[in-house]
Structure 1
Amino acid sequence: MDFEISPPSAAAMLESLRAYGYSLNSAIADLIDNSITAKAKNIWITLRWDGENSWITIRDDGTGMSEKQLSKAMVAGSQSPLDQREEHDLGRFGLGLKTASLSLARSLTVASKTGSTPLALRRWDLDYIAGQQTNEWRLLKSGRSNSEEKLAGIDNQESGTVVLLENLDKLCAGTVTKSPAHRDEFYHQIDSLCDHLGMIFHRFLATSSRLKIYINGETEAHLVKPWDPFFLKNKATEPKPVTKIPFGETVTTVQGVILPHKDMLTQDEYEEAGGPLGWNAHQGFYVYRGDRLLVCGSWLGLREGISKWRAEEHYKLARIRVDITNEMDSDWKIDVKKSLATPPQTVALALVQYASQVRKEAREIFAHRGKYGKRERREKVGKVWMARQTRGQNTYRLDRNHPVIKRFLERLGDRKNEAEAIFRLIEETVPVEQIWLDSAESPEKRSSPFGAASENEVIEAATAYLDLLQDGNSAPTDEIISEICELECFSDHKEIIYAHFGAR
């Protein structure tokens, strides 16, 4: 024979499976994928703090597994990534159950039953295997002591699966004592988990008859709420045309969305649309595979020319949905954790072409504070500042043709040069860096024109501007009041101005 059998060390291999870099959020999401593939309608997640004896269960009411199926599922690499999968199958490498579970725990117990087979149980225990002198791949058929009550939830189900994670050394490292601080840190992660699952599985959760996920309870209050990154329920959200990108025998479906500017939203709406990670982190592409979100806001390393696209404040309103199927996994280089995706080159080029326009429009709406939306900008909407490039440098200049500024300069006559000197002083000292820093660090605190002013202050300013524009007429005309209301600084306060001056 010109070969030899060279099996890997059981202890070493199982320890290596823990090193894929899962977080609690990504690990639980990976385990939920198995429940969805098993056609579960309900998933119950329980996290219990008990110091070094803390534990987690993920239970579902899916089709379950027979003893033979369970034994196969517990094998590392139980299915090849090259195998053809059913359309709804969210698996990839046949590793997720093991890598996700063992990334958090040293003991993985799975109990499952189908509508026609009794409860079957298997357990990987890393401490048990490490303690063997033979170093064999011993898959145990019994749970750890006191595990029965943690698995009991499945007893009253016709079918389903429960995954029990014990000896949570990664989550509970150093928690030898049951200190309140360690307990609080453990439970604090639940809020983040709720947000993450609501984002990753929002398409499933949007229809309660399709899927419900509960965390630490079974009531309405314990349900994970879906978060739609495209905020389509808001009328100011602007969906862009759908495009389809062919690649071989597959098709990638793409649709961009431009979210409303902050000035078009209430504070609650702004916070909701910002998502779990905030506005800047959630810009870019959202890659879905079988309705499951893989990438939640990223420009995928794409570039236009020599500049790689990065998360920037002025593109934060741009979000682009990308739908692929599980037969495209290899082409898109989907990783084991299903959190990274890289499009094929021809698809990437088409994505750049499509996204460039979405980014451009999102930037315009961001710059114009959402005031123009889908309609053409009216010439009379006067913007005071103009952005220009002078000798290769970005500069900001007051528009001398702005109706108020123009009339002000005309009235000055021979003293016009004095005003020009003051204007130049203002233009040369615009605190660009400070404005940019404040906007990036606290975008929610950015004020709109006269946003912090009282009604009296708005009326006083409008009166002064009307005086400049009406050529000394005793009473302003409806036309000139309308012109004032179209100025950028007053466009949010039309009702106040019309009411005060009696215009229609």
Structure 2
Amino acid sequence: MDYEISPPSAASMLESLRAYGYSLNSAVADLIDNSITASAKNIWITLRWKGECSWISIRDDGVGMNEEQLSRAMIAGSQSPLDRRERHDLGRFGLGLKTASLSLARVLTVVSKEEKNSLAIRRWDLDYIAEENTDQWRLLKSAREGSREKLKDFESQRSGTVVLLENLDNLCAGTLEKSPADRNEFYHKIDSLNDHLGMIFHRFLSTSTRLRIFINGESEAHLVKPWDPFYSKHKATEPKPKLQIPFGETVTDVQGFILPHKDMLTPAEYEEAGGPLGWNSHQGFYIYRADRLLVSGSWLGLRDGISKWRAEEHYKLARIRIDITNEMDNDWKIDVKKSLAIPPHNVALSLVRYASTVRAEARDVFAHRGKYGKRKRNEKVGKVWLSKQLRGQNTYRLNREHPVIRTFFENIRGRRDEAEAIFRLIEETVPVEQIWLDSAESPEMRSSPFGSAPEKEVIDAARTFLEMLQGDVSTPKKDLIDEVCELECFADHKEVIYAHFGAE
């Protein structure tokens, strides 16, 4: 067969490898994948601010590489995505080291050594290749002049690898070392990276003997702390039944969680469970591959009906864990950055059925402020507000059968029309849009019934309702107190009411 060899342009291809759309967070996470695959127990990340001369290093204590292995690892596409991998291998395309690094920097230096072997050094320098203008794939065997100082912490290690990123043009171009604004922005990115790594690798970090990640130091204060999206440590978190979805020769493991309502958490717990991006952004599916989090909160474009599921306030307590293996990469269409996953059609159908139930239960817990999600509500009391559809529109009506409202109408007798007019005025002017906006923009500011009211106000209101319900009926007082305590507005104040009225 007639053919010709058509090698790609080195300068053009290396520049193209920079265009995969990595952020600092996703790039560093991709590099950490390599360290974990190399059995590292400790990873030290250094980010040094020097304006346009800032640099980053990722150092680990893994098994390291010899000259031949490092040379092969520096080749773009060093391993086929079709190759069978070890279960703990977090790579896929053989591109991550190069694409993640070069997305941030124009100079990538990797230094590695196996135990009892000497250092191996390789460097991709995009400026050198452009300046030489030979269009050759010149993989250099030395660090840049002046870079050895940045690698000195590595020289005493028995084994491991360090990735050094210099000339961070996509991160620091145009910045000034003495500019407070530029410096603050750089350190803000470090804070974001800390949060991101604590989320992506939380399963590894939850056991210190499995993995520790340090940022800009080696003490306990510099450790990246794990963030569990499912807030498993809290007793009010509700795990749902597990589901296994077979697909070909593989099985996808699924489990939903309904997180506690804000009213069941302290302010500190609410902030912690909300995660790096906040409650609304962290609802949905969490896809893990070999314990590494790929997708951190997304409804994956799935739908139950016409409209796709979107991140909405009333579903924010629903989080669903999905575990896949690296054998499923092609089926789930895992991308180079390992931040996108699309389930196979048959798996997606099962996920929709399962998630629909979890979402419905999460909405119920949200609507009832976490108070009756796990037990049947006293039907005798009922809700104060009812949601109805009238002429295709959602409307909200005061429940005329609620015992307090019913008693009120009985007491005013001949003035019911006036009361109905006032009730209708209230119902027709419920500020739905403002409530929705306030809840979406500042969910942490939403108060609970009698949330900040002094105890006297709670007791006075409860006394009024007790007198209304008592009327001329000879109902035992204890039963009336129980009924008042079942009112939505007193759900958080039962102990106060029982303590006060039970003693009278």
Q: Normalised by the size of structure 1, how large is the TM-score?
A: 0.98
Match of 1:103, as an amino acid?
Answer: S
Give the 3-state SS of the residue equivalent to 1:362 in structure 2: helix
Q: Deviations over 1:336-374 (max 9, x none)?
A: 000000000000000001000000000011111100132
Q: Which residue of 1 aligns with 2:260?
A: 260
Q: More deviation in 30-39 or 367-376?
A: 367-376
Q: Deviations over 1:216-240 (max 9, x none)?
A: 0000000000000000100000000
Q: Deviations over 1:198-227 (max 9, x none)?
A: 000000000000000000000000000000
1:216 and 2:216 are equivalent in the alignment: yes
Structure 2 distance, partners of 1:238, 1:335, is: 32
Q: More deviation in 372-381 or 105-114?
A: 372-381
1:410 and 2:410 are equivalent in the alignment: yes
Q: Deviations over 1:135-189 (max 9, x none)?
A: 1000000000111121111211111000000011111110255433322221221
Structure 1 distance, partners of 2:306, 2:113, is: 56
Match of 1:199, as an amino acid?
Answer: M
Q: Which residue of 2 aligns with 1:205?
A: 205
Structure 1 distance, partners of 2:464, 2:475, is: 13
Q: Which residue of 2 aligns with 1:484?
A: 484
Distance 1:4 1:196, change over 3 A: same
Give the 3-state SS of the residue equivalent to 2:255 in structure 1: strand
Alignment length (residue pairs): 504
Structure 1 unmatched ranges of 5 or more: none
Q: Which residue of 2 aligns with 1:335?
A: 335
Q: Which residue of 1 aligns with 2:358?
A: 358
Structure 2 distance, partners of 1:103, 1:217, is: 25
**How many percent of aligned residue pairs carry the same amino acid?**
77
Q: Which residue of 2 aligns with 1:138?
A: 138
1:388 and 2:388 are equivalent in the alignment: yes
What displacement does 1:72 show?
0.1
Q: Which residue of 2 aligns with 1:12?
A: 12
The answer to whether the 8 Å contact 1:299/1:309 transfers is yes
The answer to whether the 8 Å contact 1:481/1:503 transfers is no
Q: More deviation in 467-476 or 141-150?
A: 467-476
**Residue pairs, 1:234-273, within 5 angstroms:** 234-273=234-273
**Residue pairs, 1:82-161, within 5 angstroms:** 82-161=82-161
Q: Which residue of 2 aligns with 1:227?
A: 227
Give the 3-state SS of the residue equivalent to 1:348 in structure 2: helix
Match of 1:412, as an amino acid?
Answer: I
**Residue pairs, 1:442-457, within 5 angstroms:** 442-457=442-457
1:296 and 2:303 are equivalent in the alignment: no
The answer to whether the 8 Å contact 2:176/2:182 transfers is no
Q: More deviation in 288-297 or 116-125?
A: 116-125
Structure 1 distance, partners of 2:306, 2:72, is: 49
Q: Which runs of 4+ in 1 moved over 6 A?
A: 473-476
Q: Which residue of 2 aligns with 1:62?
A: 62
The answer to whether the 8 Å contact 1:380/1:487 transfers is no
Q: Deviations over 1:280-323 (max 9, x none)?
A: 00000000000000000000010111110000000000000000
What displacement does 1:482 show?
1.4
Q: More deviation in 424-433 or 372-381?
A: 372-381
1:306 and 2:331 are equivalent in the alignment: no
Q: More deviation in 221-230 or 490-499?
A: 490-499
Give the 3-state SS of the residue equivalent to 2:329 in structure 1: helix
Q: Deviations over 1:10-39 (max 9, x none)?
A: 000000000000000000000000000000
The answer to whether the 8 Å contact 1:478/1:503 transfers is no
What displacement does 1:133 show?
2.7
Q: More deviation in 147-156 or 55-64?
A: 147-156
Q: Deviations over 1:261-280 (max 9, x none)?
A: 11111100000000000000
What displacement does 1:55 show?
0.7
Structure 2 distance, partners of 1:148, 1:193, is: 25
Match of 1:42, as an amino acid?
Answer: N
Structure 1 distance, partners of 2:257, 2:45, is: 33
1:188 and 2:188 are equivalent in the alignment: yes
Q: More deviation in 447-456 or 229-238?
A: 447-456
Structure 2 unmatched ranges of 5 or more: none
What displacement does 1:503 show?
5.0
Match of 1:463, as an amino acid?
Answer: R
The answer to whether the 8 Å contact 1:381/1:488 transfers is no
What displacement does 1:380 show?
3.6
Structure 1 distance, partners of 2:480, 2:121, is: 81
Q: Deviations over 1:386-422 (max 9, x none)?
A: 1111122111111111111111111111111211111
Q: Which residue of 1 aligns with 2:398?
A: 398
Q: Normalised by the size of structure 2, how large is the TM-score?
A: 0.98
Match of 1:106, as an amino acid?
Answer: R
